[in-house]
Copies of this chain bind each other. A is one copy, B any other.
Amino acid sequence: MKSHTEYRTFNTDKQQEIIHITPWVEDEVSKSGIQEGFCLVSAMHITASVFVNDNESGLHQDILDWLDGDLAPWQAHPARGDDYLHNRTGEDNGAAHLRNLTVGHEVIIPVTGGELDLGPWQRVFYGEWDGRRPKRIVLKIMGE
């Protein structure tokens, strides 16, 4: 059994941003030399996500607007309409925590024949829900 672990840091210009990371994940699979296995890509923060979807800019704006709508608006708690209780701790990012729970923080992708076994339109993204500061993801591949 082999394993391969790597980290990557993002420091986004915008507070919310979606970043395409498939080429980086593919490079790490190649470096690992693993032919059959699982590739885990996981945000190391609770105000960010890693997810698989389409590399289309209109859709990315749809996702950002969706999360900032009734689902997890930045300004006020979606159900109570007043402050996030979390924001009384000195933070302002309660909404980003809920976005992390909606979209999830990690994906696990099969590696088959030495390559990511994704469908034709599936790409991997880092979703930053509270950026403008250094934040990390971890990638770990296990297999043989």
A117: B residues at CB distance < 8 A: 5, 44, 138, 140
Give chain A interface residues in 41-94, CB to chain B under 8 Å: 42-46, 51-54, 56, 58-59, 61-63, 65-66, 68-72, 77-80, 84-86, 88-89, 94
A72: B residues at CB distance < 8 A: 66
User: Using a Cβ–Cβ cut-off of 8 Å, how many residues does chain A contribute to the interface with B?
Assistant: 65
Q: Is the CB of A108 within 8 A of B106?
A: yes
Question: Whole-angstrom distance from the CB of A21 to the nearest CB of chain B?
Answer: 15
Q: Is the CB of B85 within 8 A of A45?
A: no
Q: Is the CB of A101 within 8 A of B1?
A: no
A84: B residues at CB distance < 8 A: 58-59, 62
Q: Is the CB of B5 within 8 A of A89?
A: no
Q: Is the CB of A65 within 8 A of B79?
A: yes
Instruction: Identify which of B44, B58, B108 contacts A119 (C-beta below 8 A).
Output: B44
Which residues from chain A sit less than 8 Å from chain B, CB to CB?
Answer: 1, 3, 5, 36-38, 40, 42-46, 51-54, 56, 58-59, 61-63, 65-66, 68-72, 77-80, 84-86, 88-89, 94, 97-98, 100-110, 112, 117-122, 136, 138, 140, 142-144
